[in-house]
Amino acid sequence: MKAKEVRELTLEEIRQKERDLREEIFNLKFRFSSGQLEDPSRIKIAKRDLARVLSILKEKEKDVKS
């Protein structure tokens, strides 16, 4: 997911995206530990997406408070 796409979302949509990504990372780690994950690099991509979403969420929350 691109940063531009995340910035176009509302605060609530970004928070939902954060929850979805956290759940996805949990599931990917679980599948990895049980040997069922075919593409382990997907974990890294999901973590990067989560970091991007969290950064943009902080930016937007800061703008709302100002």
| Residue in this structure with the two tokens 């593409």, named with its chain if needed | 39
- Give the pLDDT confidence score for residue 7 in this predicted structure: 93
CB burial string 16-48: b at 16+ within 10 A, e below: ebbeebeebbeebeeeeeeeebeeeeebeebee
Class of domain 3-65: mainly alpha
Please list the rounded mean pLDDT of every run of 10 residues in the chain (66 residues).
91 96 98 94 97 96 83
The 3-state DSSP class for residue 9 equals coil
- Give the pLDDT confidence score for residue 45 in this predicted structure: 97
Q: Write down the pTM of the prediction.
A: 0.90
